[in-house]
Amino acid sequence: MSKRLSYLFALSLVLLWGAIDFNTRLAISNDSIKELSVDTNNNIVIVKILEQSKVKNLILSLARYDVEEVMDTKPRVKIVKTKQAVLMTIEEQNKQAGELNNLFDGENKFSLIATFNDSQKKFILLNKLNLVSGKEEQIRLFLGEKLAVYNLNSINHDYVVLSHGQRQIYLKLFIMKNNKV
């Protein structure tokens, strides 16, 4: 039983010492209250226990948290890097002749999709791919009309004949391997 009493006595001493320490740390005496001054312009309570230089440093340190944060209102632009198309030079374009599967003109690539033999008018359907923007569209071209600088001279069931000056281009409908469709 004496062991129990000694533990209870020690526990009560520790609790008493903790309560006294807690009260002395939080308590402000009347003398300390008189040393407080209030600056009504800035709503700051200044404790005169601190030296004046430390008070200024404390105010400057706390002032950085009073600054309003300005939000960046610029819209975010997503920059997408794309592979640049390799375009043909004018000299390379002028060398195009004979049987071709694709015809290049400036930044466009033309491919023959279909030929139509209507009883009244013959026409073709071409796929036009802009190599810079990637935009693709279909174009209908009638016999005798122009495709860029090329004249559409003849429409056959699997190719068309385009000409520019003395050059003639046979734009094929199908890609042939070993002369087989």
Q: Can you give the pLDDT of all 181 residues of the chain as single tens digits?
A: 688 888 899 999 999 998 888 777 766 555 555 555 555 566 665 555 667 777 788 888 887 777 676 666 666 666 666 556 567 777 877 778 888 888 888 888 899 998 888 777 888 899 999 888 889 999 898 888 998 888 999 988 889 999 988 889 999 986 655 544 4
Query: Can you name the residues that pair with 161 across neighbouring β-strands?
Result: 154, 170
Q: Write down the pLDDT at residue 36.
A: 56
Rounded to whole angstroms, the Cα distance separating 56 from 59 reads 5
Query: Could you tell me if residue 49 is left (phi over 0), alpha (psi between -120 and 50 degrees) or otherwise beta?
Result: alpha
Write down the pLDDT at residue 108: 87
